[in-house]
Amino acid sequence: MFLLLKNGEVYDPDYVGISDILILNGKIALIDKGIDINCTGLDIKVLNLRGMRLVPGFIDNHVHIIGGGGEAGFESRTPEVTLSSITECGVTTVVGVLGTDGTTRHPETLLAKARGLKNEGISAYIYTGSYELPLITLTGSARRDIVLISEVIGTGEIAVSDHRSSVPTVEELTRIATDTRLGGMLSGKVGVLNLHMGSGREGFSSIFKVLKDTEIPIRHFLPTHVTRTRDLFEQSKIFAALGGTIDMTAGSNDAASFSGVSIADAVNSCLENGIPIEKITISSDGNGSMPKFNKDGYLEGFAVAKLSSLQKELKAMLMSGLDLTVALKPFTSNVARVLGLHSKGRLAVDSDADITVLDGDLNIDVVMAGGRVMVESGRAVVRGTFE
């Protein structure tokens, strides 16, 4: 079936203008002004999106798709995500992570959930490995997982500079980064090492040492949660200035214990310091817990991170003065490039037809994944198997 989107204001995320988009077999077949198809016998659905902004579907590169948390006991384990909780937030691609608990949660379950989400209509990938060391993997090594399992695009999230981490040494980080890089090379993937950055004194020091003392390219490292403290953020800017990409966590300033930098301020600070927007990605940490620890390391409370924080941060970035063409990139094209998802993150011919439609107030109106309408008028019209 052909799907023709008419009269929308298209962002690639660069500005294209008022255009029509023709979709066929889940791909964008044509973008042009005034596309008209009048072939008898063709199955064509037309959506008039006048007054709407059409942007690439958001790619959330850090989601606890099988739940997270657990720091306050078994009852504090957060639940699995549902399909509609993803798509109603404008997200069409997720990357699943295991999180703090690698004891009662397992990479096999993570992989099964990603495949389930794929069957339900969106794109889903995972990181192999775990918060702690030694790594918990599917085949016995991160390299083998990346090479042999299509959904595995890298390793993570591995905690550093955090009182809940296994305090990985420089040598351990080097070995993991090497395995991840080689797994990517052998499988034609990027091979990304996703690093959970805590608020400990170590900060980026071990990462800087790996970069200084080895030949591993900086593009394989993706440190996340980098705005959680002011000091950590300042170190992340040094990392980005060296050519690395930093991942900021949307909604983190909603946590009661947050003492860092808001996303809008952080992005503007990077730009003011000569760090290009292309070196920034933004993820939600969706379905993970946002714990509050006191100065002695005792848990005082927690909330649950939401994928909807992405849209909230997009609006905040626009209110801070950023143009939509700039603000969109950390949610779309930047993520696709860093993760090697070549058919994602752009509205271009031959790209996957993953499209989020925003109304005049930048609220999510329609979401399409692979050309299939998943959300209409802000509500899911396709729901997960058990919703």
Distance separating alpha carbons of residues 60 and 369, to the nearest angstrom: 14
CATH number, domain containing residue 307 = 3.20.20.140
Q: Are 109 and 171 members of one domain?
A: yes
Q: Is 385 a member of any domain?
A: no
Q: Is 354 a member of any domain?
A: yes
Beta bridge partners of 196: 159, 224
Pair type for strands 123-128 and 91-96: parallel
Q: How far is CA 133 from CA 26, 168, 179, in A?
A: 40, 7, 14
Contact by Cβ (8 Å): 228, 246: no
* Rounded (5°) CA angle 368-122-58: 65
**Is 30 in a helix, a strand, or coil?**
strand
Q: Are 20 and 128 members of one domain?
A: no
Confidence label for 304 from pLDDT (cuts 50, 70 and 90): confident
Q: Are 147 and 20 members of one domain?
A: no
Q: Are 225 and 353 members of one domain?
A: no
Q: Are 67 and 142 members of one domain?
A: yes
Confidence label for 70 from pLDDT (cuts 50, 70 and 90): confident
Cβ contacts of 167 within 8 Å, gap of 6 or more: none
Nearest alpha carbon to residue 8 among 358, 362, 331: 358
Known catalytic residues are 285
Domain that holds residue 95: 56-339
Which pair of tokens denotes residue 216?
A: 């591993």
Is the bond into 157 cis (omega within 30 degrees of 0)? yes
Q: Are 44 and 88 members of one domain?
A: no
Confidence label for 225 from pLDDT (cuts 50, 70 and 90): very high
Considering the chain, what is the average pLDDT of its residues?
A: 94
Cβ contacts of 361 within 8 Å, gap of 6 or more: none
Per-residue confidence (pLDDT) for residue 1, from 0 to 100:
77
Q: Are 51 and 151 members of one domain?
A: no
Contact by Cβ (8 Å): 104, 70: yes
Confidence label for 29 from pLDDT (cuts 50, 70 and 90): very high
Q: Is 331 a member of any domain?
A: yes
Q: Are 174 and 299 members of one domain?
A: yes
List phi, psi (to 5°) of 169: -80, 170
pLDDT digits over 182-192, tens only?
999 999 999 99
What integer is the mean pLDDT of 317-333?
98
Beta bridge partners of 224: 196, 247
Residue found under tokens 């900021």: 248
Distance separating alpha carbons of residues 257 and 99, to the nearest angstrom: 19
pLDDT for residue 342 is more than 70: yes
Q: Is 387 a member of any domain?
A: no
Q: Are 23 and 165 members of one domain?
A: no
List phi, psi (to 5°) of 219: -65, -15
pLDDT for residue 104 is more than 90: yes
pLDDT for residue 116 is more than 60: yes
Per-residue confidence (pLDDT) for residue 288, from 0 to 100:
87
Where is pLDDT greater, at 71 or 327?
327
Q: Is 319 a member of any domain?
A: yes
Confidence label for 72 from pLDDT (cuts 50, 70 and 90): confident
Q: Are 335 and 369 members of one domain?
A: no
Distance separating alpha carbons of residues 372 and 353, to the nearest angstrom: 8
Per-residue confidence (pLDDT) for residue 302, from 0 to 100:
73
Contact by Cβ (8 Å): 184, 190: yes
Per-residue confidence (pLDDT) for residue 92, from 0 to 100:
98
Of 309, 324, 339, at which residue does a domain stop? Answer: 339
Count of domains observed in the chain? 2
Q: How far is CA 236 from CA 203, 232, 245, in A?
A: 9, 6, 9
Distance separating alpha carbons of residues 89 and 312, to the nearest angstrom: 10
Per-residue confidence (pLDDT) for residue 291, from 0 to 100:
67
Beta bridge partners of 235: none
Q: Is 124 a member of any domain?
A: yes
Per-residue confidence (pLDDT) for residue 41, from 0 to 100:
61
Q: Is 386 a member of any domain?
A: no
Q: Are 90 and 205 members of one domain?
A: yes
Q: Are 265 and 154 members of one domain?
A: yes
Which pair of tokens denotes residue 189?
A: 């993937």
Q: Based on the number of CB atoms within 10 Å of its own CB, is 209 exposed (0-12), middle (13-18) or buried (19 or more)?
A: middle
Which pair of tokens denotes residue 201?
A: 């004194």
What integer is the mean pLDDT of 141-149?
98
Most confidently predicted of 254-263, 284-293, 333-342: 333-342
CA 78 to chain centre: 19
CATH number, domain containing residue 34 = 2.30.40.10
Nearest alpha carbon to residue 92 among 387, 337, 282, 332: 332
pLDDT digits over 269-300, tens only?
999 999 999 999 999 999 987 766 677 767 77
What integer is the mean pLDDT of 117-146?
97
